Structure formats: structure tokens, C-alpha cells
Amino acid sequence: MKRSSVGASCIVFIPEKAPEAKMAQLLVFGAQVLAVRGAYDDAYDLCEQVCEEKGWYNRNTGYNPFTREGKKTCSFEVCEQLGWRVPDRIVVPVGDENIISGIWKGLKDLYAVGLIDRLPKVDCAQATGSSAITQAIDLFRKKQGEPLSGGWRKIRIEPVQATTLADSISVDIPRDGLAAMRAVIEAVSVSDEELLTTIPELAQRAGIFSEPSSAATYAALKKMVEEKKVDPEERIVCLITGNGLKDIASARKAANQPIVIDPEPTAEY
């Protein structure tokens, strides 16, 4: 078994079709990478089964509580950088829901010790092709007609067949879904086309190069604005959790193609 850059042995189960850049990072740092034929959920389930059989330490999101403890520090950073003035909303990209449950736990911790004076609204951004949470919340509201915060324990999250180019949030069933339900105010899904459109928009307007899964937060916010679900005066944070260099193929789809010219100053372009 290989030893990683920090001296620990590390085996990573990934979907066979994961972006090349993500796979390269894991290999370069010394992980033993097992590319599983199938989707993210197949890799997740196999990892859990093998860890159980071999007694390995499993750090999968939605399974290992320390992942939530680590991801909650993002909420610390947000509040600190805003001078402890809590934003009105935080829009979070959602796959397994581990980030959003971590964000909520961090906010609750800050509120409990008095570092912030209120809790913001937390919104879930998903790809339409992987929208188990959005579908569950929409169905719950149609049936119950009650505020989500008052009945999150009653929500049933049904698996979907995830099909989206946003690989980081492409899951059939969110593994940390129910734990995150207490945090979600709005759940919005956006199409792959909307994600691709948002990538260059974020880069050209904000100087941020995002992978598709993270672009979902800004795309979802635009949709919430169009549907008048947010107040124009609200202070809103969109989490961008993945750099666009992790998925160059999608970035190339989103951007214009280079113009090939002759090596002459008189070349037309």
C-alpha cells in the first residue's frame, strides 16, 4: 500500500469517469486510487463495504462525523471575514449535503458562544440531474403546507438517477441528507446548461474560476432572484468550493474556442 505525502497510507475509491485533473491530484500526492466502474454512489458503497470488511478507517462524507467538523470551519471563515456581521443567506452547493450540514453546525456553534447574534438562512443549490433534496422538499411542501423548519424530520429523501456534468454534486442519494434538512430554507436545482453559462460569468465578473458544481450556487441565486424568493436588500454569500482547474473539459465547453492564426503580424483575427 502506498504512503501519501503526509506519511499515511491512503486508498481512494472514485468513479471511473471522474475528471482527469482530480484523479491526477490524488495520484501525485501518493494515494492508491481505485477507479470504480460506475457512478459516485457505486464507489461510495464499495468503499463502505471494504472498510467494514477490512477494518479500515473510513473518512467518507456523510459517514465520518469528523468531515462535518472540518467543513463547519467554512462558516467560521465567512463570519470572520465579514467582521462577525452575519450574512442574511448562505447558498451552498449540495451533493451528499455534508458541506451544508457542516456549515449549519458551525453557525450554531458560533451562535451558542455569542460570536454571532443570529442565524442566517441557508439555501441548497443542486444540479437538476441530481436533485434528490430539491425534489424531497418540493414534495413535502406540496403535501404538508407547513414551514420546512417545523417538519424536517418528516421529509423522505428518495434516490434519483444522477445525470449531470457537475461531478462533485452528482449523487443518487445524499448520505448526509437528513442531518442537513434542519438547515435548508430554499432548495433550488439548475440545469447543466445554466451551470456552463455561469462558469464564464463568474470568471469575467468576479474573477473566480469555478468548477460546475460550485457554479451552482450563483446559478441558483439568480433563479431565486427571478422567482422573487430573496429580498434585494439581503446580504448573500455564495460558496464556491471547487476550482475550475479540477474540470477543464467542462470549462472548455463553457468558454469560446481559441482562434488559430499564422505566426504573422498581418494575420487576421
Mean pLDDT, rounded, for 3-23: 86
The residues facing 188 across adjacent strands are 125
Same domain, 41 and 93: no
Task: Report whether pLDDT(41) > 60.
Answer: yes
Mean pLDDT across the stretch 127-151? 73
What does the DSSP assignment read for 23-64?
HHHHHHTT-EEEEESS-HHHHHHHHHHHHHHHT-----TTT-
**Whole-angstrom distance, CA of residue 53 vs CA of residue 124:** 34
Q: Considering the domain boundaries, does residue 229 fall inside one?
A: yes
CA-CA distance, 242 to 254, in Å (whole number)?
16
Question: Do 175 and 107 reside in the same domain of the chain?
Answer: yes
- Mean residue pLDDT across the chain: 88
pLDDT band at 131 (very low <50, low <70, confident <90, very high): confident
Residues 143, 37: Cα–Cα separation, whole Å = 38
Please tell me the predicted confidence (pLDDT) of residue 8.
80
CATH code of residue 70: 3.40.50.1100
**Residue 26 pLDDT exceeds 70:** yes
Q: Are residues 128 and 51 in the same domain?
A: no
Domain co-membership, 51 together with 84? no
CB 215 within 8 A of CB 91: no
Instruction: For 80-114, write each residue's pLDDT tens digit.
Output: 999 999 999 999 998 878 899 899 999 999 999 99
Highest mean pLDDT among 129-133, 134-138, 168-172, 230-234: 230-234
CA 199/CA 210 separation, integer angstroms? 6
Q: For the chain, what percent of residues have pLDDT higher than 70?
A: 91
Comparison of pLDDT for 156 and 116, the residue scoring more = 116
Q: How many domains does the chain have?
A: 2
Residues in the chain: 269
Q: Is 5 inside a domain boundary?
A: no
- Between CA 216 and CA 168, with CA 48 as vertex, the angle to 5 degrees is 15
Residues 102 and 41 in one domain: no
Tens digits of residue pLDDT in 152-199: 566 777 878 888 988 888 888 777 666 666 667 788 999 999 999 999
In the 8-state DSSP scheme, what is residue 260? Answer: P
Tell me the residue type at 131: S
Query: Could you list the residue range(s) of the whole structural domain that residue 93 is in?
Result: 66-252
This prediction's pTM: 0.87
CA distance 136 to 144: 12
Q: What angle do CA 137, 213, 135 make, to 5 degrees?
A: 15
In this prediction, residue 259 carries a pLDDT of 85
pLDDT of amino acid 117: 95
Q: Give 56-82 pLDDT, tens digit per residue.
A: 999 998 789 899 899 999 999 999 999
List Cα–Cα distances, 252 to 145, 167, 202, 215, 242, in angstroms: 43, 16, 15, 15, 16
So what's the pLDDT on residue 2?
59
Q: Contact, 249 vs 221, CB < 8 A?
A: no
Q: For residues 193 and 212, what is the distance between their CA atoms, to the nearest angstrom? A: 10
